[in-house]
Amino acid sequence: MPLYRDEAVVLRTHKLGEADRIITLLTRQHGRVRAVAKGVRRTTSRWGSRLEPFTHVDLQLAEGRSLDVITQAETLDPFHARLGLDYDRYTAGTVMLETAERLVTEEKEPAVQQFLLLVGGLRAMAGAEHPAKQVLDSYLLRSLSVAGYAPSFDHCVQCGVEGPHRFFNPSAGGVLCASDRLPGSATPAAETVRLLGALLVGDWPVVHAADPRHLREASNLVSAYLAWHLERGLRSMAYVER
């Protein structure tokens, strides 16, 4: 079987047979890959915790007929160990993993930007520099953008006139001017719209200065925007307080 190397983040695992697991990975060069880890559920497993969700690993894989097989794994960053100590960061991180899996839809189609975004997002989530909820919101807006659903928070998505605009509609893809507004649009505070723009580009000084009420409103709109673009909701989102 031909071998290849890649680095990856472990997104999810599930049981296979008596002692094995199928590991769903987001790799740097091969996009989303599902691969078998043999013997990983034995107590004497040589894999240790290297193939747990969140772990950033360097891998060697053997190409299989249906699923590839992991032959070597070395931990680059044990995000699991760092996130596991903080419930908010852990649950928000779980939403990131599920989002990455859902937005990278094709197996073995390179998705370098999504990979880099996920590693950067997990690093920010594991650090203490920014609040967990805003790291999550920023990641969600950016991963949706990379997937082709970039929201607009300044120009009206219908006519392109520059804002600020008061109306926000997930189905339209962002803010709308007064003449193009759709029924049922949200009317967030001007500060919330500005905050959403800051989360999208990672303008952290604006995020840190924001009022809690605007942070909450922004989180709800990000959730609505994400829900609109995913066919079914994220299971993991239920554990994140919005």
Verify binding: residue 158, Zn ion, rule CB under 5 A: yes
Interacting stretch for Zn ion, rule CB under 5 A, among 12-20, 155-163, 184-192, 227-235? 155-163
Minimum separation from the CB atom of position 114 to Zn ion (A): 31
Minimum separation from the CB atom of position 157 to Zn ion (A): 8
170: three-class secondary structure by DSSP: coil
Alpha-helix runs per DSSP H in 77-185: 79-83, 87-103, 112-126, 132-146
Minimum separation from the CB atom of position 178 to Zn ion (A): 8
Query: Which of the residues 172 through 231 are near Zn ion (CB under 5 A)?
Result: 177, 180
User: Which helix (H) or strand (E) segment is 23 a member of?
Assistant: strand 20-27
Minimum separation from the CB atom of position 224 to Zn ion (A): 20
Q: Rounded to an integer, what is the distance from CA 53 to the centroid of its chain?
A: 13
- Whole-number Å distance between alpha carbons of 168 and 190: 11
Interacting stretch for Zn ion, rule CB under 5 A, among 55-63, 107-115, 149-157, 186-194? 149-157
For Zn ion, the closer CB: 102 or 155? 155
For Zn ion, the closer CB: 127 or 160? 160
For Zn ion, the closer CB: 147 or 177? 177
User: Which helix (H) or strand (E) segment is 213 a member of?
Assistant: helix 212-229
For Zn ion, the closer CB: 140 or 156? 156
For Zn ion, the closer CB: 156 or 215? 156
Minimum separation from the CB atom of position 175 to Zn ion (A): 9
- Say if strands 3-16 and 174-176 run parallel, antiparallel, or are unpaired: unpaired
For Zn ion, the closer CB: 159 or 209? 159
- Whole-number Å distance between alpha carbons of 92 and 95: 5
Interacting stretch for Zn ion, rule CB under 5 A, among 15-23, 89-97, 154-162, 228-236? 154-162
- Whole-number Å distance between alpha carbons of 237 and 139: 14
Minimum separation from the CB atom of position 190 to Zn ion (A): 17
171: three-class secondary structure by DSSP: coil
**What separation in angstroms does the CA of 85 have from each of 54, 56, 88, 91, 164?**
13, 17, 9, 11, 40
User: Which helix (H) or strand (E) segment is 157 a member of?
Assistant: none
Interface residues with Zn ion (CB under 5 A)? 156, 158-159, 177, 180
